[in-house]
Amino acid sequence: MSFTDLLAFKKSFNLSMKIFEISKSFPKEEKYSLTDQIRRSSRSVSTNISEPYRKRQYPKHFSSKLSDSDAENSETLTWLMFALECKYIDKGTFENLSSENSEVGKLINYMINNPGKFGVK
């Protein structure tokens, strides 16, 4: 199995692509702040899932990188909250993205709490 088969990876990757598309409509003055930050944090969720999966023979590394992924997921939610408050996204869009973000967080935490199910010894 590849890291690309992991549900947490698939859902986090899809969420980051949705955020990328939505953030294209953010104001130009946000290019180097909110737009850049939300894109970086949302992409880091997926990358911090793929790396430990490849190094799952090291249990501490696995947990540490997944913890980083969970933190990036929380950061992404915070940026979504800013986007909502700045009125760059509407409440419905926020709720949909927030719900997906929450689901990704649950999947990451499942991986952290059940490393043996992912080949960690």
Quick check: is 121 in a domain? Answer: no
Q: In whole angstroms, give the CA distance from residue 92 to residue 102.
A: 15
Domain ranges, residue 24: 3-114
Quick check: is 65 in a domain? Answer: yes
Read off the CATH number of the domain in which 53 is found.
1.20.1440.60
Quick check: is 69 in a domain? Answer: yes
Quick check: is 15 in a domain? Answer: yes
Specify whether the backbone of 2 is left (phi greater than 0), alpha (psi in -120 to 50) or beta. beta
Is 90 exceeded by the pLDDT of residue 55? no
Which helix (H) or strand (E) segment holds residue 71: the answer is helix 59-85
pLDDT, tens digit, for every residue of 8-42? 999 999 999 999 999 999 999 998 899 999 999 99
Is 90 exceeded by the pLDDT of residue 112? yes
Total domain count for the chain?
1
Quick check: is 12 in a domain? Answer: yes
